[in-house]
Amino acid sequence: MVDTPAAVNLGQLLLQAFRWFDEGLVAGLRTAGWPQLTRAHSLVFANLGPRGSRISDLARRAGVSRQAVHQVVHELVEMGLVELHDDERNRSAKVVVPTPAGRRSIAVALRLFVELEAELASRIGPVQVAQLRRAIERDWGPPVTR
Amino acid sequence: MVDTPAAVNLGQLLLQAFRWFDEGLVAGLRTAGWPQLTRAHSLVFANLGPRGSRISDLARRAGVSRQAVHQVVHELVEMGLVELHDDERNRSAKVVVPTPAGRRSIAVALRLFVELEAELASRIGPVQVAQLRRAIERDWGPPVTR
DNA sequence: CCAATGTCAGCATAACTGACATCA
DNA sequence: CTGATGTCAGTTGTGCTGACATTG
């Protein structure tokens, strides 16, 4: 351990913070009886409207490709947690709808989101969490590309 | 776009924030002449002491496995940006030392960290960035596992 | 004998791009 | 014709675990 400390950069810190939530989520889902659910599935859970959503909409919300969402949605279909229904208003589209079991797991996931945030508040203080949330909820605009 | 909005959860937001930095970093490195450098390499760059560091130390700082660091270090060796020297005080250890070219790319990366944070401050305000940093730099403790 | 270090091999996950058929 | 949607296929990036030899 003979080494100089190092400058911390925000990106690194954000990644570690994300992993803190990720591990808590996956652990919570596992102990709640859904050992095969991962963070990627929560990308659907967190954004799925109560009446279902389209794959493209989920992709836009989560900021990933249509194909990535397609992948995890079909894993959820395999698990029997969501179903794909035809959209009456647009026959080229489908709607991702949770099954009863899916609704139960979604409820668990949403509760875990809240509990993890509360646990964090008890560790670093509610003010810090509120400020973190406020800063991160702002519109950061597109990534710098030049 | 017929869809109800959705509750945002902190984990998701943190991931998106991380990606904002990640994309900015990779884009900046590319336009600065290092198109093959990615975020994983910055894990080394951000933590490498001026006199070099050991792989195990880098792993501990970044919070990833020794093997993961081993991987990216050897990619950097291939690119000629770092070298592995024997540690005189411990013959089972090696020291990761930047080459002159490596020092140049590290300088660029460190500068990009600062510039990205400044750009963010100009977009969401310096106070928000300071509060974000303060909250995220605290010790969050181990992830919740129960 | 035990712990730390580096290394090799294999694997899992989560995203990506490209290409394509269908439909509005 | 254009654009959006879903899908199939292939690939990449990033990290993990397990196993092992070497060193302290």
Rounded Cα distance, A49 and A52, in Å: 5
SS3 annotation, A61-72: HHCCCHHHHHHH
**Which residues of chain A are within 8 Å of residue B13 when distances are taken between CB atoms?**
133, 136-137
Asked if A137 lies within 8 A of B4 by C-beta distance, the reply is no
Residues A115, A24: Cα–Cα separation, whole Å: 10
In a mutational test of the A interface, the residue from B1, B13, B29, B55 whose CB has the highest number of chain A CBs within 10 Å is B13
B82-86 and A94-98 beta bridge pairing = unpaired
**Token duo for residue A103:** 């609704």
Q: What is the mean pLDDT of chain A?
A: 92
Report CA torsion sign: B51, B55, B60, B64.
Answer: positive
Distance from CA of A112 to the nearest CA of B (A): 10
User: Which pLDDT tens digit goes with each residue over B31-75?
Assistant: 999 999 999 999 999 999 888 999 999 999 999 999 999 999 999
Q: Find the residue in A nearest to B27 (Cα).
A: A145
B5-21 pLDDT, tens digit each: 444 789 999 999 999 99
Residues 81-110 of B with CB under 8 A from A: 110
Percent with pLDDT over 70 in chain B: 95
Can you give the distance from the CA of residue A40 to the C1' of nucleotide C13 in angstroms? 9
Q: Which residues lie across from A82 on neighbouring strands?
A: A98
Task: Give Cα B140 distance to the centre of its chain.
Answer: 19
